[in-house]
Amino acid sequence: MKKKELPDNRGKYGAYGGRFSPEVLMPALVDLEAAFKKYSKEDVFQKELAYYLREFAGRPTPLYYAKNLSEKLGGAKIYLKREDLVHGGAHKLNSTLGQALLAKKMGKKRVIAETGAGQHGVATAIAAATMGLKCEVYMGTEDTVRQKLNVFRMNLMDARVIPVDSGSKTLKDATNEAFRDWIANIEDTYYLIGSVMGPHPYPMIVREFQKIIGEEAKKQILEKEGRLPDAVMACVGGGSNAMGIFNAFKEDANVELFGVEAGGKGIDTGEHGAALCAGTNGVLHGMYSKILQDKYGQIKVSYSISAGLDYPGVGPELSYLAGEGRVKPTSITDEEALDAFKTLSRTEGIMPALESAHAVAQAIKTAPRMKKNQVIIVNLSGRGDKDVFTVAEALGVKL
């Protein structure tokens, strides 16, 4: 039976989601929702987006059978959804192309974005460059140092990176600053949010632009295996690649969905980014969701070796699906993710992004306990080239 479409007309996924935004932004959020509903239904828009996704981004991406890894583990067959092959090196472009196109249709001249590691910033810069939009990206000063290569990449594509020096100087503060910019420049600016988070309609818009991952994967696995997978695994920071692949399988009750969060140094150390596993209900960045906070409601600083998972909240639909028992939240530590990074590189010749390595690590843990005729799909959301310095440092190698 098909479940009720979510979000509801108030932008809620059960109790989660909603629109906790300053009054100044509310009319813009209402307009954005209307514009999305209008354009995304139009053939012209869908054709144009399909063109960009095919000719520019390189879709569809392969669903690759990781034979060596599967045989080494001796359990379930592991398939990799190769979002690392999307132009720019990650799934992020699916949504930035969609949103930039939407911004253009809405007559906006400028897009702004927040970025942690810089992946969403780079994907926004790419989309803005190809569509002729002015692009400015907020990034915590800590991150501009840790990820200076991405800062340079953005600059090369004519995007301006604005360092954010407030609070913890990381992704959550960059997000605050992007909201402040949007509040002040609502007329000509489109705020291009990077994940299935923020106030309604953003979690819905980003999911809708990312759901192509799961639609492709479902078709591909049916072609290759003639059946649905037993499990789908994706890393969860804000949750855009996870919702992107889960969406197509949400109603297939026999497909287990693993939302793999950043365990950092271990959940019990308090240094992690696992809002689904260890967070509590609250409001951050315009949404009611699971967040990491203290007993007074102050937001905690998250931690992960992978900057893309280093966020103290998570998209509201994932909080809902986890609450319903549909998504199983798990966590993988830095160390396990690094091991998975090495293992996949050696066995398959594929270097995963450290974010995606969390999902790979979960597959490495789970596959041996499954039967050989069972199937796992791992969303390989990004490639690891951006992480080689971090990995080298963690391994004590000097480059």
Partner 1 sequence: MRLKEKFSELKKKKEGALIGFVTAGDPTAADTIEIAQAMIRGGIDILELGLPFSDPVADGPVIQKAGERALRAGMNPDIFFETAGKIKGIPKAVLTYYNIVLQRGLDKFCADCAKTQIDGLVIPDLPIEECEPLRSACKKHNVSLILLAAPTTPDDRLEKILEEADGFLYVVSVAGVTGARKDLSAQVKPLIKRIKKRSGDLPLAVGFGISRPEHVKEVLAAGAEGAIVGSAFEKIIEECLGDKKEMLHGLENFARELKTATTRREIGGDTHQQEGKTLK
Question: What residues are annotated to the active site?
Answer: 92, 114, 381
Which residues ranging from 299 to 338 are in contact with partner 1 (CB under 8 A)?
Answer: 299
Query: Applying CB under 8 A, does 26 fall inside the site for partner 1?
Result: yes
CA angle (38, 42, 43) in 5-degree steps: 170
Return the residue of 6, 28, 318, 351 that touches partner 1, per CB under 8 A. 28
- Selected range binding partner 1 among 236-244, 267-275, 290-298, 330-338, rule: CB under 8 A: 290-298
What is the distance of C-alpha 86 from the center of its chain? Answer: 14
- Selected range binding partner 1 among 58-66, 136-144, 284-292, 354-362, rule: CB under 8 A: 284-292
Sheet with 77-82: list strands edge to edge.
Answer: 63-65, 77-82, 375-380, 231-236, 256-264, 327-333
Query: Applying CB under 8 A, does 296 fall inside the site for partner 1?
Result: yes
Query: Applying CB under 8 A, does 293 fall inside the site for partner 1?
Result: yes
Total residues in contact with partner 1, by rule CB under 8 A: 34
**Smaller CB distance to partner 1: residue 164 or 337?**
164
* Rounded distance between C-alpha atoms, residue 265 and residue 382, angstroms: 22
Closest CA to 173 of 125, 139, 136, 122: 139
Q: Are strands 12-13 and 16-17 parallel, antiparallel or unpaired?
A: antiparallel
**Smaller CB distance to partner 1: residue 204 or 357?**
204
- For residues 128-157, b (16+ Cβ closer than 10 Å) or e, as one string? bbbbebebbbbbbebbbebbeebbebbeeb
Query: Applying CB under 8 A, does 146 fall inside the site for partner 1?
Result: no
User: Which residues make Cβ contacts (< 8 Å) with residue 206, sequence separation at least 6?
Assistant: 95, 99, 193, 194, 195, 196, 197, 240, 243, 315
**Smaller CB distance to partner 1: residue 117 or 284?**
284
**Smaller CB distance to partner 1: residue 165 or 393?**
165
Query: Applying CB under 8 A, does 270 fall inside the site for partner 1?
Result: no
Return the residue of 58, 163, 282, 323 that touches partner 1, per CB under 8 A. 282
Percent composition of the chain: helix, strand, coil (DSSP 3-state, to 5): 50, 20, 35
User: Minimum CB separation from partner 1 for residue 176, in Å?
Assistant: 5
Query: Applying CB under 8 A, does 20 fall inside the site for partner 1?
Result: yes
Query: Applying CB under 8 A, does 266 fall inside the site for partner 1?
Result: no
Query: Applying CB under 8 A, does 356 fall inside the site for partner 1?
Result: no
- For residues 247-260, b (16+ Cβ closer than 10 Å) or e, as one string? bbbbeeeebbbbbb
User: Minimum CB separation from partner 1 for residue 169, in Å?
Assistant: 12
Which residues ranging from 71 to 130 are in contact with partner 1 (CB under 8 A)?
Answer: none
**Smaller CB distance to partner 1: residue 176 or 345?**
176
Which residues ranging from 164 to 183 are in contact with partner 1 (CB under 8 A)?
Answer: 166-167, 172-173, 176, 179-180, 183
Contact between 312 and 302 (Cβ < 8 Å): yes
Burial of 269 (0-12, 13-18, 19+ CB in 10 A): exposed
Element (H, E) at 264: strand 256-264
277: which 2 tokens? 């596993």
Query: Applying CB under 8 A, does 22 fall inside the site for partner 1?
Result: yes
Three-state DSSP at 185 gives: coil
DSSP 386: G
Query: Applying CB under 8 A, does 141 fall inside the site for partner 1?
Result: no
Query: Applying CB under 8 A, does 397 fall inside the site for partner 1?
Result: no
Q: By CB under 8 A, name the binding residues for partner 1.
A: 10, 18-28, 166-167, 172-173, 176, 179-180, 183-184, 186, 282-286, 291, 293, 295-299
